[in-house]
Chains A and B, each alone.
Chain A
């Protein structure tokens, strides 16, 4: 999976009926330091990710492995909303409403 940021959503009225009921978000891929990579995907949101949320998305046929996207022409799915992540023991990102005061980088 890749880390990404929800930067927008896609609305299309004329589309294949197999994807009619799905919500599409535009996700910009980020590196492990939270810096944007030059890569965007349109991913189906399966966990209720909102604008500006940092998420994980899966690509390829793995994206069809949810009840929402099973058997549909989908190759990217947001499968988690990130609370925090650390690299080499250093906290890189924590969602602002997460009480990070005194939160030590321990076993998640």
Chain B
């Protein structure tokens, strides 16, 4: 899984079966310093994430296990909000209420 920030939303009415009511959000992957770490991607949302939220994203087929219907062609799902994030490297720790 990796850290990310929700930066946008995608609307797609024509989609694979089993994905109705699943929200599609654009996520910018981040590293532990909250710096940009890789290309943006589109993930399904399993935790009602909103714009600007710091989240963690599950990749690959396992991403479907967080969705109402698991047999769907999905390779990324937001599986958690990040309130706190500690790391032993330099740079600020992320505490609750920090601006992600």
CB-contact partner of A62 in B39, B51, B75, under 8 A: B75
Contact indicator A89/B73 (Cβ below 8 Å): no
Contact indicator A80/B12 (Cβ below 8 Å): yes
Interface positions of A (Cβ within 8 A of B): 1-3, 31-32, 37, 46-48, 56, 58-67, 69, 77, 79-89, 92, 108
Tell me, rounded to whole Å, the shortest Cβ–Cβ distance linking B76 to chain A: 6
Contact indicator A85/B26 (Cβ below 8 Å): yes
Q: What residues of chain A lie closer than 8 Å to B75, measured between beta carbons?
A: 1, 58-60, 62-63
Q: What residues of chain B lie closer than 8 Å to A32, measured between beta carbons?
A: 7-8, 26, 28, 40
Interface size of B in residues (CB-CB distance below 8 Å): 32
Contact indicator A85/B11 (Cβ below 8 Å): yes
Q: Does B47 contact A (CB under 8 A)?
A: no
Q: Does B2 contact A (CB under 8 A)?
A: no
Q: Can you sample 28 A-B contacts with CB below 8 Å?
A: A1-B24, A1-B76, A2-B41, A32-B7, A32-B8, A47-B14, A48-B14, A56-B15, A56-B42, A58-B74, A59-B75, A60-B75, A61-B61, A64-B73, A65-B72, A66-B72, A77-B73, A79-B15, A79-B16, A79-B74, A80-B10, A80-B12, A80-B19, A81-B14, A87-B8, A87-B26, A108-B11, A108-B23
Tell me, rounded to whole Å, the shortest Cβ–Cβ distance linking B24 to chain A: 7
Distance A4 CA – B54 CA, assembled complex (angstroms): 25
Contact indicator A47/B16 (Cβ below 8 Å): yes
Q: What residues of chain B lie closer than 8 Å to A46, measured between beta carbons?
A: 16, 73
